[in-house]
Amino acid sequence: MLETLAEKKYIVKCMDGAEGMLLLPDSSIKLVYGSPPYPNAERNYGVWKSDEYISKISPFINAAKLKLREDGFIVINVKANRERHKGGRCTTRSLVVEKLAIMMEEEWGLSCVDIEIWVKDNPVSTGLRVACQDAYEQNLWFSKSPSWKINLDAIRRPYSETTLSKYENNEFKPRANGVSYVRKNKRIQANPLGALPQNVIRGPVSARQDLHQAIQPSYLPNKYIKATTQEGDLVVDPWMGTGTTGIEALKLRRTFIGFDIYQEYVKNAETALLKTLEGLRDDEE
């Protein structure tokens, strides 16, 4: 499969993503990034109930750990939905995502880089009356190795004018109450590449209309591809959908393999990836 990848730059297959990853050589993947079905979410591609969620996602994590390079990463974008009504009880928020995060460390031996939060500017209104409106998702970011390196410079953000003014006009001094954020008088120079990235991502839900009911906004995979991979590295999405991860990987000069169990999604992804690759080639001419 990797021989074809070297020539084509991407491969997409209609098959189970866990089984697909097992076909790849050991220690070949730099980043596994994907968004699996969310707990209890009713979508046209099926429902993973919260009480069976761990068992359903386990084969994917098993395969990812086996096929990741020693310096590889896995990022899972997921949202915890609420449990179904039970009699007269209120619908409680499922904690299976938090359980999964703990198990990724304790059961799979992965190391938690961070659990980042995606705050959605335009969350879907659900009419929920027992809790606040659901407006965020989690990105479970784990490393295969307990010692990892990420490219923070690639994902820096613009400074605010207020911050730049503070850096230019203020000398920071130790606090009188003993808090040691600043140990001695100093001035801070703004990094020319921008401010450090935050572990909170803000942005809108994708406005694309497609057969797929949960299309990823491109800025999500873009961040993790930039942070964890270099040009030529292999990015794999075992829940490919219509190919957003692959599109971003190709734009950043990485290679991509994607799997999905629905032929319609694979067909759409193939079309989108080919179009992206042709556009990149035109730009080079």
* CATH numbers and ranges of domains, the chain: 2-153+198-284 (3.40.50.150), 158-195 (no CATH)
Q: What is the pLDDT along the chain (285 residues), one digit of tens a residue?
A: 666 787 789 999 999 999 999 999 999 999 999 999 999 888 766 788 999 999 999 999 999 999 999 999 999 999 988 887 676 778 888 999 999 999 999 999 999 999 999 999 988 777 677 888 889 999 999 999 999 999 999 999 999 999 999 888 887 767 666 666 666 677 888 999 999 999 999 999 876 555 544 578 999 999 999 999 999 999 999 999 989 999 999 999 999 999 999 999 999 999 999 999 998 877 776
Q: Strand, helix or coil at 259? A: strand
Query: For the CA atoms of the chain, what is the radius of gyration?
Result: 21
The predicted model scores a pTM of 0.90
Asked if 63 and 21 touch (Cβ cutoff 8 Å), the reply is yes
State how beta strands 136-143 and 111-120 pair: antiparallel
